[in-house]
């Protein structure tokens, strides 16, 4: 406990130092496309200055100027804002259930003159609510590293968590009720909940106009939500997609075997 208290004290000092020296905004460039982000917190600055190169390259290979793009697990808009700068007549719909992230996402879209829609739902296979457990310091910093109850990460962070209840929606029902456009390209990055989101979105994903899915597959977390990577891939194949894995990684984290890869699904 003393060690944890010292760690929190040191982290707090670093936070204050970072906030005193970091800029208010940061402009990120990728393949000639620029987007600017608010950096009011240490974590927002880290997100603004980093980039998931392989994921963004795959998206940029597929996105067209008139596409409808769904960013599922949009966080503060790192992907939404860059993709939005490539669209002319297209549209962005970003899904981010945590209010602190959704507010930052809206601010970043506005900063980049992108008229995207932000929906504060966690897409799933049923309508209802789910409890997210988020490390307290990251809630304040605007992170969306929400974690499902009783997984390894939640046990590790048990002493430092904020509980947040968010609404879950079946994507197919939401699209029909709100008369949302069918997406041409969809990105999933929702830390183990991707299978349930796909199951609630199968009618939409099966639509001929939905031609590409880029999914971060957190294979080691899917079990916490009652699924598996093989099941996820089978669901996408049933929607008519051909699959390609890329950027696959396996490593140890806090004594847990981590298996993470990205999946490109195309028709």
pLDDT means per 10 residues, the chain with 267 residues, are: 46 54 87 96 85 95 98 96 98 95 96 97 95 62 46 51 88 98 98 95 99 96 90 98 94 78 98
The domain spanning residue 234 has which CATH number? 3.40.50.150
pLDDT of residue 143: 42
Domain membership flag for residue 19: no
pLDDT of residue 145: 44
pLDDT of residue 18: 56
Q: Is the dihedral of CA 200, 192, 228, 207 positive or negative?
A: positive
Q: How far apart are the first and last CA of the chain?
A: 53
Domain membership flag for residue 3: no
Domain residues for the domain of 55 are: 24-266
- Of 143, 131, 124, 133, the C-alpha closest to 74 is 143
- Residue 14 phi/psi, 5-degree rounding, is -65, -40
Domain membership flag for residue 11: no
C-alpha distances in angstroms, 218 versus 31, 82, 199? Answer: 27, 23, 16
Domain membership flag for residue 63: yes
Domain membership flag for residue 8: no
Q: How many domains does the chain have?
A: 1
pLDDT of residue 64: 98
Domain membership flag for residue 14: no
Domain membership flag for residue 109: yes
Q: Given 3-state DSSP classes, what are the helix, strand and coil percentages for the chain, each rounded to the nearest 5? A: 40, 30, 30
Domain membership flag for residue 17: no
């Amino acid at each position: 406990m003393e060690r944890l208290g010292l760690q929190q004290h040191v982290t707090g000092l670093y936070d204050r130092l970072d906030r005193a020296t970091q800029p208010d905004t940061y402009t990120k460039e990728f393949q000639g496309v620029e987007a600017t982000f608010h950096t009011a917190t240490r974590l927002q600055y880290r997100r603004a200055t980093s980039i998931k190169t392989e994921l963004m390259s795959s998206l940029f290979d597929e996105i067209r100027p008139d596409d409808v793009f769904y960013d599922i697990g949009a966080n503060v808009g790192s992907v939404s804002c860059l993709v939005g700068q490539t669209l002319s007549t297209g549209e962005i719909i970003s899904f981010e259930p945590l209010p602190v992230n959704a507010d930052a996402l809206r601010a970043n879209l506005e900063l980049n003159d992108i008229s995207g829609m932000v929906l504060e739902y966690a897409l799933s296979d049923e309508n209802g609510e789910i409890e997210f457990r988020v490390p307290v310091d990251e809630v304040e910093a605007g992170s969306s590293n929400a974690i499902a109850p009783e997984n390894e990460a939640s046990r590790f962070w048990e002493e430092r968590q904020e509980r947040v209840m968010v609404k879950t929606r079946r994507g197919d029902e939401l699209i029909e009720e709100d008369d949302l456009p069918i997406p041409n390209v969809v990105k999933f990055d929702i830390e183990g909940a991707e299978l349930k989101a796909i199951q609630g979105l199968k009618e939409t994903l099966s639509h001929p106009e939905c031609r590409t899915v880029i999914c971060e597959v957190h294979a080691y977390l899917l079990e916490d939500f009652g699924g598996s990577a093989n099941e996820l891939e089978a669901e996408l194949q049933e929607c008519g997609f051909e699959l390609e894995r890329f950027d696959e990684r396996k490593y140890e984290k806090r004594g847990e075997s981590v298996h993470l890869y990205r999946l490109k699904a195309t028709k």
